[in-house]
Amino acid sequence: THADMGYSFVSLSCVALCLEHQREDGHALVPPLIWKIKQQISTDPTLHADFAPALGLPEFTRRATELALGRECRAVVENRVLGIQTVGCTGAVRLGAQLLRCWYNRSTGWRGPVYIPSPFYAVFQAAGLPDVRQYRCWEAGQWAASEGHVLEDLRAAPEQAVVVLCATAYCPVATDLSQKHWKHLAHVLERRKLFPFFLMLGQGLCLGDPEQDAWPLRHCVSLGLELFCAQSFSHSFGLYGERVGHLLLVLKQNTLLLALQSQAESAVRSLWSRPATLGARVVATVLSNPANLAEWREGVRSAAERCVLIRERLREKLRLLGAPGSWDHLTQQGGLYCCTGLSAEQVAFLAKSRHVYLCNMDYVAESIHLALTSPL
Amino acid sequence: FAAPAVEVPQATPVAVFKLTADFREDSSPNKVNLGVGAYRTDDNQPWVLPVVKKVERMIVEDQSLNHEYLPILGLPEFRSSASKIALGDDSLAILENRVGGVQCLGGTGALKIGAEFLRRWYYGYNNTATPVYVSAPTWENHNGVFADAGFQDIRPYKYWNAEKRSLDLAGFLGDLESAPEHSIFVMHACAHNPTGIDPTPEEWKQIAEVMKRRNLFPFFDSAYQGFASGSLEKDAWAVRYFVSQGFELFCAQSFSKNFGLYNERVGNLTIVAKDNENLTRVLSQMEKIVRTIWSNPPSQGARVVALTLNSPELFAEWQENVKTMADRVLLMRAQLKAKLQALGTPGTWDHITQQIGMFSFTGLTPHQVEYLSKEKHIYLMASGRINMCGLTTKNIDYVAESIHEAVSTVQ
């Protein structure tokens, strides 16, 4: 499935293990809360099936914005924020990229560059921004986020460049930086006049707390930076197939808001016309009801906890097996993915000979041990 | 964005959105919305098809369902049943394994994916100069979708004869003859939007003959199958005829209207290729395009349609629901014409029952349209297009009288 999502590890050879909730048959579980809400929706006589507005269900965009930026965000109060429901995170990135292509620094005919460490470069290119560049975010050989590399590459970026940043450590090659690191990064963004385009997938699942996961984004907004943020609700709500995404636009001036909104409507009209409603309705129902919200928060907290336990167990099991190498990076990384540092051949071995896709940690550990110690 | 020198201009408002907004702000108790493109019951309410309600509940209760991302090209059982609905159970092309489908975000999404593919791969590589012909008039988003896909030469082909309120066949055929070879022609499979006038089977045969001879590419837009005449077969006649004549073609299907699933964005791009090898290559390129727009499509609507089309009982129930909608529209057409004739409204009104589908091109002038909205609180497109679904047994007298007034007093 993750190959389907287009994740490519361009300069790294590693396997991402997905640590999400799974049933015995390997398929993703639907959280009971979500299932309950879907039932409610399917039997609600007041809900009709008319088109959603082009920019999405207002109740959803309001809650999605609030989840990302918090309730007391100055930018929201000053009416400088636009929220648009999109078809998944990909849809948010595509729409954001198109808006940048048409309206960012229009007087200079800006066409890039876009700095991006993660798998959405094809989306930017398809949107008419072919100048896509990588920036380093890993310490090679250590499989840990490298603040030094990130800052170095961004300091060298031309002014007005767009920089794609993962706000949560969800993407397999996300920058997994501390708050201190993020403060440095934000300072560079400000000084170099770079435009941040955040990707926020699985908010709440990394540190177990949606507010903490959104910290990098909120910090940049509090500095008064202009930015976009593409949010995905697939993982935090178990709504993969429903394609619930959100594009957040935070502007410096609210005078541009209405015009940008009309341009976004025009762009959406030629992409998908209106978004699908079921997933957005579910999310809105969760986020707008205190009891649902509490249940959801508890769910993401325990999912995040479980990931930490799984990491520890994997590391411990590998140690017990005597697998070569150091495996500390497994527990030092955060989020739902871990990069193991295996080579391309070792990865192929895992897939072909051991059929490793499932989350049976003992089996995974044994398989990794075999990959490292057998002749391939 | 913030540099003062940069201006983001307000985009031209989409006409039909503005109409809906104006209608919403109108406080008159007599107001009538003849502008929006969605079905309404005789009580002027949106209608969730009974079969859809049933299937949605089935889906929620089904514990065995996989809730993960769909494949990039969509739910397999949706794609195959959707293409089968368009081309027929006994379609030779399907048997010959040269038909594929891409699940898309509604009809718009299907047009978008088809347009993006054609711009990249049709008649050369990245040939943005290939002319794309759309009917005059057409659904206004056709222009936007093909322009945004990168096509630089989008032209009208003659279609509507305003004077006779009929199809301008000679003009259409003339434009087909003079179009550069390999041009793309976007055609409405049935229930032409906005005119409601479709070519007859004989006329379609003539159109196909010229297109064959001149190597023109048919891109059908099929948003009303079943909804137009009440018969799925009848409404798919043109597409099936072209396939039987050996054309390679695209057909963008929407299930918004005939399933009442406007909100879940259910569409399918049916691809009829020369052979299976070509089909495979086309689909692999389609995947690449989809991954840069929405990655994989939403599952809910596709599941509803797939379950319905693949179960004989549900399928029969669906056909009945569709006929209910089609019949109500036909009734409103008949009644509107009868009332206008009874009032002695100047002009001829036969076109109201000759036209088919959701829309009617009334022939009202912009001034008359303005009169209706300002004086009578009746909202319709400046082109004179009305949505028959906006008419009910309760408001049809008022509308007929108002049209009579407008036509009699305003030019």
Decide if A28 and B68 are in contact by the 8 Å CB cutoff. Answer: yes
Query: Which residue in B10, B143, B294 has the most chain A C-beta atoms within 10 A of its own C-beta, making it the best mutation to test that interface?
Result: B294
Lowest mean pLDDT among A113-127, A171-185, A290-304, B392-406: A171-185
> Given this model, what pLDDT does residue A134 score?
85
Decide if A88 and B8 are in contact by the 8 Å CB cutoff. Answer: no
> Given this model, what pLDDT does residue B28 score?
94
- Residue A263 predicted with pLDDT over 50: yes
**Chain B closest CA to A221's CA: distance in Å?**
15
- Residue A376 predicted with pLDDT over 90: no
Q: Among this protein's residues, is B47 annotated catalytic?
A: no
In this predicted model, what pLDDT tens digit does every residue of B292-310 receive, in sequence order?
999 999 999 999 999 999 9
| Residue A365, Cβ density class (10 Å: 0-12 exposed, 13-18 middle, ≥19 buried) | buried
Higher pLDDT residue, A350 or A113?
A: A113
The distance in angstroms from the start CA to the end CA of chain B is 47
Report how many Cβ contacts below 8 Å link chain A to chain B: 202
- CA B345 remoteness from chain centre: 31
Q: Is the dihedral of CA B324, B326, B329, B335 positive or negative?
A: negative
> Given this model, what pLDDT does residue B336 score?
97
- Residue A357 predicted with pLDDT over 90: no
> Given this model, what pLDDT does residue A19 score?
42
Query: Which residue in A50, A193, A236 has the most chain B C-beta atoms within 10 A of its own C-beta, making it the best mutation to test that interface?
Result: A50
- Per-residue pLDDT averaged across B99-103, rounded? 98
- Per-residue pLDDT averaged across A78-85, rounded? 96
> Given this model, what pLDDT does residue B6 score?
44
> Given this model, what pLDDT does residue A17 score?
39
Q: Is B265's Cβ below 8 Å from some Cβ in A?
A: yes
> Given this model, what pLDDT does residue A188 score?
94
DSSP per-residue letters across A312-370? HHHHHHHHHHT-SS--HHHHHS-SS--B----HHHHHHHHHTT-TTS--HHHHHHHHHH
- Name the residue type at position B255: F
> Given this model, what pLDDT does residue A307 score?
79
- Residue B57 predicted with pLDDT over 60: yes
- CA B272 remoteness from chain centre: 19
**Helices A179-191 + A147-155 axis angle, to 10:** 10
Higher pLDDT residue, A302 or A147?
A: A302
Q: Given B84, B257, B337, B339, which residue is catalytic?
A: B257
Q: Among this protein's residues, is B221 annotated catalytic?
A: yes
Q: Say whether A232 sits in a helix, a strand or coil.
A: strand
Per-residue pLDDT band for B278 (boundaries 50, 70, 90) equals very high
> Given this model, what pLDDT does residue A139 score?
60
Facing B265 at nearest CB: one of A88, A260, A272: A272
| Residue A313, Cβ density class (10 Å: 0-12 exposed, 13-18 middle, ≥19 buried) | middle
Q: Given B221, B235, B237, B339, which residue is catalytic?
A: B221
- Per-residue pLDDT averaged across A238-255, rounded? 93
Q: Is the dihedral of CA B40, B46, B50, B52 positive or negative?
A: positive
- Residue B126 predicted with pLDDT over 90: yes
Facing A242 at nearest CB: one of B1, B56, B298: B298
- Residue A193 predicted with pLDDT over 90: yes
To the nearest whole number, what is the mean pLDDT of chain A?
Answer: 82
- Residue A251 predicted with pLDDT over 90: yes
Decide if A50 and B60 are in contact by the 8 Å CB cutoff. Answer: no
Q: Residue A266: its chain B contacts at CB < 8 A?
A: 11-12, 14, 144
Q: Residue A275: its chain B contacts at CB < 8 A?
A: 105, 265
Lowest mean pLDDT among A64-78, A88-102, A313-327: A313-327
Decide if B14 and A272 are in contact by the 8 Å CB cutoff. Answer: no
Facing B301 at nearest CB: one of A38, A94, A276: A276
Per-residue pLDDT band for B325 (boundaries 50, 70, 90) equals very high
- Residue A363 predicted with pLDDT over 90: no
> Given this model, what pLDDT does residue B10 score?
81
- Name the residue type at position A210: P
> Given this model, what pLDDT does residue A148 score?
78
- Residue B214 predicted with pLDDT over 60: yes
Residues within 8 A of A (CB atoms), B 33-72 only: 38, 45-46, 48, 52-53, 56-57, 59-61, 66-72
Q: Which H, E and C letters describe chain B, residue by residue? A: CCCCCCCCCCCCCCHHHHHHHHHHHCCCCCCEECCCCCCCCCCCCCCCCHHHHHHHHHHHHCCCCCCCCCCCCCCHHHHHHHHHHHHCCCCHHHHCCCEEEEEEEHHHHHHHHHHHHHHHHCCCCCCCCCCEEEEECCCCHHHHHHHHCCCCCEEEEECEECCCCEECHHHHHHHHHHCCCCCEEEEECCCCCCCCCCCCHHHHHHHHHHHHHCCCEEEEEECCCCCCCCCHHHHCHHHHHHHHCCCCEEEEEECCCCCCCHHHCEEEEEEECCCHHHHHHHHHHHHHHHHCCCCCCCCHHHHHHHHHHCCHHHHHHHHHHHHHHHHHHHHHHHHHHHHHHHHCCCCCCCHHHHCCCCEEECCCCHHHHHHHHHHHCEECCCCCEEEHHHCCCCCHHHHHHHHHHHHHHCC
> Given this model, what pLDDT does residue A337 score?
59
Q: Is A46's Cβ below 8 Å from some Cβ in B?
A: no
- Residues B17, B20, B25, B26: what is their CA dihedral angle, to the nearest 10 degrees? 140
> Given this model, what pLDDT does residue A20 score?
47
Higher pLDDT residue, A308 or A361?
A: A308
CA-based nearest residue in chain A for residue B301 = A276
Per-residue pLDDT band for A39 (boundaries 50, 70, 90) equals very high
Share of chain B above pLDDT 70, in %: 98
Reported pTM: 0.91
Q: Residue B67: its chain A contacts at CB < 8 A?
A: 27-28, 30, 238-241
**Chain A closest CA to B49's CA: distance in Å?**
10
Highest mean pLDDT out of A113-127, A168-182, A362-376: A113-127
Distance CA B251, CA B149 (A): 17
* Contact present, B102 and B76 (Cβ < 8 Å): no
Residues within 8 A of A (CB atoms), B 273-302 only: 288-289, 291-301
In this predicted model, what pLDDT tens digit does every residue of B68-81 receive, in sequence order?
899 999 999 999 99
CA-based nearest residue in chain A for residue B114 = A271
- Per-residue pLDDT averaged across A241-256, rounded? 94
- Per-residue pLDDT averaged across A214-237, rounded? 94
DSSP per-residue letters across A111-166? ---EE--STTHHHHHHTT---EE----EETTTTEE-HHHHHHHHHTSPTT-EEEEE
> Given this model, what pLDDT does residue A317 score?
83
In this predicted model, what pLDDT tens digit does every residue of A137-167 receive, in sequence order?
666 555 556 777 888 889 999 999 999 998 8
- Residue B145 predicted with pLDDT over 50: yes
Structure-token match 């489908």, residue found? B101
> Given this model, what pLDDT does residue B63 score?
79
Closest by CA position to B198, among listed B208, B209, B206, B187: B187
**Chain B closest CA to A340's CA: distance in Å?**
24
- Residue A25 predicted with pLDDT over 90: no
- CA A150 remoteness from chain centre: 18
Q: Say whether A201 sits in a helix, a strand or coil.
A: strand
- Residue B271 predicted with pLDDT over 70: yes
